[in-house]
Structure formats: structure tokens, C-alpha cells
Amino acid sequence: MSEGRPIWQRDDCPPWCDGEHRDDDHPDDRIHAAAGVGVPVTLRDPDSGEAFEDQLEIALWRRDGDRRTWLHLGASRGNHLEIATPDITAVLDELFRLAGVDAEAQLRELARAVARIDDL
């Protein structure tokens, strides 16, 4: 985050915000965003059935003035999901169940962390 607070900014930056905010930011760019993390994945194109290597970008973001924080999952071909942070635990629970992973303790810890995200 830059020194000082832009005139449009209503909320303090959450601790995970890695954005550079300026007075002249376009209204669509007035967000708090974490630095994205790229994870190598193999994806499947649902139209062609083609499998391809890609980077899945994972990041948190929140529009300034909004209380809802989003988890962004995006790939290079423009495909993306944005999941409200309170729903992350339920999604992971189902993914772990499908994968046969016993992750109950990890999910409890994750649920506590996710519950704190919107409070930051």
C-alpha cells in the first residue's frame, strides 16, 4: 500500500492488501487485493475435452467500502471463480471428502482463519 490514504478510500487496508492506492484510481480499481499465488495445474477444456497445463491464480480481494471478501481462482483462458470467504470451508470440506482426505482438524483451523478474514 502507498503512503497516505487516497481521497476515495473508505476502509483501512486489510493486512493482506498488497495494492497501491492512488487518488486517481478508476472506480473499478478501488479494491483491496492480496498478491496472487500461482499454482501449476492441469485443466480440461469442457468444449474440446483437451487437457492443458496452466497456472491457477489464487488471491483474496474486497471492494473498498464492502464488507464481503472474495477468494479469486482464475486461469489464463479467462475462466475464473470468485467464492465468498464464508463459503471456502464448505467447498474445501467437499473437495477433501471427494479426495478421501480426512481433514477435519485442518478444516476446523481453516474455519477459524476464514471467519477472521472479514473482520480484518
The predicted model scores a pTM of 0.73
Q: pLDDT: is 111 or 65 the higher one?
A: 65
Whole-number CA gyration radius for the chain: 17
Residue 3 has pLDDT above 90, yes or no: no
> 37 with 57: CB under 8 angstroms?
yes
64 backbone dihedrals φ, ψ, rounded to 5°: -60, 135
**pLDDT for 73-93, tens place per residue?**
998 877 899 999 999 988 888
**pLDDT for 29-40, tens place per residue?**
999 999 999 999
